[in-house]
Homo-oligomer: A and B are copies of this chain.
Amino acid sequence: MPKSEETRSLIVTTAMRLFTENGYDRTTMRAIATEAGVSVGNAYYYFSSKEQLIQGFYDEIARLHLDAARALLAEEPRFAERLKAVLLCWLELAEPYHRFGTQFFVNAADPESPLSPFSEESSAARDASIELMREVVEGSDVKLDPELRAQLPELLWLFQMGVVLFWVHDRSAGEKRSRMLVERSVPLLARLAALSRLRVFRPVSREIVDLIQDLARRE
Residues of A participating in the B interface, judged by any CB pair closer than 8 Å: 106, 109-112, 166, 169, 171-172, 177, 180-181, 184-185, 188, 191-192, 195, 198, 200-201, 204, 207-208, 211, 214-215, 219
Contact = CB atoms under 8 A, between A and B. Distances in A.
A90 B201 CA distance: 31
11 contacts: A112-B171, A171-B219, A177-B215, A181-B211, A188-B204, A188-B208, A192-B204, A195-B201, A195-B204, A198-B200, A201-B201
Closest 9 CB pairs of A and B: A184-B211, A191-B204, A188-B207, A188-B208, A111-B169, A111-B171, A109-B169, A181-B215, A112-B171
From DSSP, what is the main secondary structure of chain A's interface residues?
helix
Contacts of A195: 200-201, 204
Given A192-B204, A195-B200, A204-B195, A214 B110 contact: no
A211 B191 contact: no
Contacts of A207: 184, 188
Nearest to A181: B215
B172 A219 contact: yes
B198 A211 contact: no
Contacts of A166: 215
Contacts of A214: 180, 184
Contacts of A111: 169, 171
A185 to B, nearest CB: 6
Nearest to A177: B215
A146 to B, nearest CB: 20
Contacts of A200: 195, 198
